[in-house]
Amino acid sequence: MKNKKTRYMTILTAAIALSLTSCVKDELFNTPHPDLGAVIVTTDWSAKSAEAEIPQNYTLRMGTEEQAASGIINTFKTLLPQGSYELTAYNTPEHIGISGNTATVGESEPGYMEPMPGYLFSAHQTIDVMADDTLKVTVPVKQLVRLLNVELTVTEGDYNRVQSATATLDGVASRIDIVTGERTTAAKSLNTLVQNGNKFTTSFRLLGIIPTASQKLTVSILFTNGDTQQIESNISDKLADFNDRTEAKTLTGELLLPIEAGVTGATITNWKETDGGNVDAN
């Protein structure tokens, strides 16, 4: 009996010791991944303009590894070794291509940039991942495309003689670095002016302007008798701060048409600018 009791006590003592050892081991680590760190990313879209919508899908990039994301909160799919990482979030909207950190607006026709691409967003932040921990990071998202509305009101001449009209805008950016926000490669964009009575409206969604370039708006008019006229306006001063904000900008002007057929000299006067507005003629 004594031997049985001794063996029982030995087994019980070993079991208790093993249990205590297990408890101590569990207390050493905060997560199931003691050698690696997890990252949960919250995207803050509060800086977007009223007319832009949060994209349904976008990309999270950690270093060179990417994953599809949606909604506001996403857990990065890969556990990471401890260290610093470059976290980038961006979407790929319609008519804009992404290669590395460069976003480029496609062409609507040779020589002309697409006038109404989708809204491009990006966020970038350097983060420090700790082993045996979960990093929760909030990144503010920047809107990189801004809406420009143009509205012309005929105050002289017969607007009923206009068959069609277009507007071409020069000196705007066709590329942007989604990390630094640097805009490059001056281009021009062409869109149709929509007529409603004595008003002609059009819109452009732009990556921004090239500050070292001149922004020129050229309105081309085809009259019902076959006559054509072009009106050039330097609007650089009106767009000088275009890269600094995200809400829509509206330019208005007075369009003076020839009094009768065969007469040249159409002009646009009294240019004014306002931030906000919803012309958005597409």
What number of CA atoms fall less than 13 Å from residue 147's CA on the CB side? 23
DSSP 3-state assignment of 282? Answer: coil
20-24, 130-134, 139-143, 254-258: the lowest-pLDDT one: 20-24
22-26, 46-50, 175-179, 229-233: the lowest-pLDDT one: 22-26
Residue 16 is classified by DSSP as: H
Residue length, the chain? 282
Judged against a pLDDT cut of 50, whether residue 150 lies above it is answered with yes
Domains of the chain: 36-143 (2.60.40.2100), 146-275 (2.60.40)
Judged against a pLDDT cut of 70, whether residue 82 lies above it is answered with yes
Residue 264's pLDDT is what? 77
Average pLDDT over residues 148-154: 98
DSSP 3-state assignment of 8? Answer: helix
